[in-house]
Amino acid sequence: MTSPGSPSQTRSLIIERLVGDSGEADHVIGAGRGMAERAVPLLQKSLIGELGAPVTVDLRAVAVSRVPEARSDAGDTFAMTIVASPTSSDAMTLVLDAPGIAVMVCALFGGDPDVPVSPIERELSQIETDVATTVFQLVAQALNGSGKRSLELRLPVQRAMSGMEAKRRVLRDGASVRMVFGISTPTDSGTVTVMIPQRVLLATRGGAAGAHEDDHAAGSDWRARFSEEVMRSAVMLEATMPLARLTLGDLASLEVGQIIEFEETAQSQARLSARDKTLFVCDFGKLGQNYTVRVRQPYDAGQDFIDGLMPG
């Protein structure tokens, strides 16, 4: 993680940490629908070529959502994978439900398309997981795009996860666009759910904040991206300072009235936070009769982690 270099980037970073980067719903849905509709014929052609059997792909829904809701309609048995890009470790989250896996396995191994497939109500086998991985690869390729509008996904996708691994996998919360594709044979159908964070979608579909525009243009973009309700929301700011490093023995021996000295660099390491999210590193000081903090730089979680590994 690197610190942003402009006021517009700093504002975007703060809102992303607090509420998740989001855009106007109509614009997000429109951009997502355009992407999904272009991918449908490509995906159907790829699936038929891979399976050697006729399957039908259709777009069933496009809506704004939150990334952790990717598994909400998948039931107890499903496969999932997360695809990264140069700008995001979770640029795309894909979930294939059990009926979809059954349809794909049946088609791949020459099952009769006019006979209903048996539902999967158990842990996925290795072959079923491999089939799900193949589906995810084809879906990601169809949605990835090319040129300036490409998501630049890191392909091939990672092997699909399932069972408790998929259920317990923590998905980073954030506003997203949800695309639901149907995969069908004459007798059965399943769904592939695709979640793309809005911060990723808007960056490639003209909705991201212009990092290199002047402050006036950035302000207009800011108002366009976030609703007035969000901008009027109040948050409580908290400023904290590091005190000292003590051993557990020292801590256990503290007594009422004992004085603890601040470390020498404590005043320059104050942290400004909101909703348990650290936003800035500040200098602690005093102006007249009031104590103050002066914003010094945006908080860099990566650098803070490194500093914690090498104290002093």
Give the DSSP letter of residue 268: G
Whether the predicted pLDDT of 255 surpasses 80 = yes
Half-sphere exposure of 146 (CA within 13 A, CB side): 4
pLDDT at residue number 209:
38
pLDDT grade, residue 128 (50/70/90)?
Answer: very high
Tokens of 285: 């000081």
pLDDT at residue number 158:
95
Contact between 80 and 160 (Cβ < 8 Å) = yes
Contact between 57 and 181 (Cβ < 8 Å) = yes
Give the DSSP letter of residue 159: P
All residues at 6 or more sequence positions from 32 whose CB lies less than 8 Å from its CB, including other chains: 62, 177, 178, 179, 196, 201
CATH architecture of 236-309: Roll (2.30)
Distance CA 220, CA 242 (A): 38
Closest CA to 4 of 297, 239, 202, 305: 297
Closest CA to 154 of 68, 92, 80, 204: 92
Distance CA 20, CA 23 (A): 10
Distance CA 100, CA 285 (A): 61
For residue 19, report the phi and psi dihedrals to the nearest 5 degrees: -125, -10
pLDDT at residue number 236:
86
Range in 45-59, 98-112, 159-173, 230-244 with the lowest mean pLDDT: 230-244
The residue-averaged pLDDT of 61-72 equals: 93
CATH architecture of 24-206: 3-Layer(aba) Sandwich (3.40)
The residue-averaged pLDDT of 33-45 equals: 94
Distance CA 240, CA 168 (A): 33
Whether the predicted pLDDT of 84 surpasses 60 = yes
Calculate the CA 85 to chain-centre distance.
11
List the beta strands (DSSP E) in 98-197: 161-162, 175-184, 189-197
Half-sphere exposure of 195 (CA within 13 A, CB side): 24
Distance CA 268, CA 272 (A): 12
Distance CA 168, CA 166 (A): 6
Distance CA 80, CA 159 (A): 9
Where do we find the tokens 């059997």? 53
Closest CA to 106 of 182, 49, 161, 51: 51
For residue 311, report the phi and psi dihedrals to the nearest 5 degrees: -65, 155
pTM: 0.62
Distance CA 94, CA 195 (A): 6
Amino acid making up residue 301: A
Domain ranges for the chain, please list them. 24-206, 236-309
Amino acid making up residue 114: D
- Per residue in 225-247, pLDDT (tens digit) is 555 556 667 778 899 888 877 88
Contact between 12 and 226 (Cβ < 8 Å) = no
Distance CA 33, CA 177 (A): 9
